[in-house]
Amino acid sequence: MKNWFNQHMHTMQLVSLRLREHWLNTLIIWMVIGITVTLPGLLFVSIDNLQGVARNIKQDAQISVFLKADLNGNLTQRLINDTQALPQVKEVRYVSKDDALAQLSQQFSQKNMLADLPQNPLPDALFVTLVDTQPATVKPVQDALHKRSEVEELVVDSVWIERLHSMLNLGKRIALIFALLLGIAMITVISNTVRMQVLTHEAEIEVSRLIGATHSFIRRPFLYMGSAYGLGGGIIAVLLLAGIVWSLKQPVQLLANNYQSDFQLVFHLVNIGGFILCISTVIGWIAAFIALKQKR
């Protein structure tokens, strides 16, 4: 175990020395990889923030049920009880037309304008909160309420949220495709770099073979080199993403305040940043492995 540990420590020291000897080339490769990873990373950060907004809005989604005029109180109560009994329904809130008019008048600066109306134009309403806003939950409740003779009109407030989720899913697919294409480009860059490293140390490799070095011992430094390129590029990408999010945070906050929203642009360093570092390191290792397979 100690021998295995010493071999890997020696390999890491060797790779670190080679990276420092060619620090300018290493920095250029890290920057190229970092910028490559940053592009799909921006898409994932944007989608992650929009999904957070969608989850918060989803909690307030409901079905608004407007009742027919002059409906008997017993019929209204029966509709409330029947709706509350549905398994998809979380809560039913009744708002009479008088309460609705009183709430509306509080929002107007000229309250006398509503007082001059000959009669209350607002209907009695039920606000039905569902367990969730999935189509499989909304559709049965919507169909059941449509069939009731007490209902004048239905407004499903969650339809646009479902459209938002569909758009977010589409954006996630596009980001994955974009990341896959750039990942292939990243593999090509690292693979060619590692192949050049192999050619540069070809004489050293031949000497190692002559003295009985194993195949795994010979290729280990190059695998570590590819992983180091990927990890360094991932760190650059995380720093760039953090800087971009920080620079956009204040303008986004001002825009959200104009729409009376508490939305804040965030970059989840542990989740997204850690994922980027892991993926870029693995891609670097795979690229080095491909380069060694081709050279073999």
Tens of pLDDT, residues 144-164: 888 888 888 888 765 666 677
- What pLDDT shows up at residue 236? 94
The pLDDT of residue 277 is 93
Average pLDDT over residues 193-203: 80
**CA gap 94, 117 in Å, rounded:** 23
Q: Give the strands of the sheet with 125-130, arranged side by side.
A: 89-95, 125-130, 62-67, 151-156
- Looking at residue 237, what is its pLDDT? 93
Higher pLDDT residue, 227 or 6? 227
* All domains of the chain in start order, with CATH: 2-57+162-295 (no CATH), 62-157 (3.30.70.3040)
Which tokens go with 63?
Answer: 């079905």
The tokens describing 123, both together, are: 């209907």
In this prediction, residues 7-25 reach a mean pLDDT of 78
Per-residue pLDDT tens digits for 237-289: 999 999 999 998 888 888 878 877 777 888 888 888 899 999 999 999 999 88
Q: pLDDT of 29-48, one tens digit each?
A: 999 999 989 988 888 888 88
In the predicted structure, residue 226 carries a pLDDT above the cut 60: yes
16: which 2 tokens?
């670190």
**What percent of the chain has a predicted confidence (pLDDT) above 70?**
80
User: What is the pTM (predicted TM-score) of this model?
Assistant: 0.67
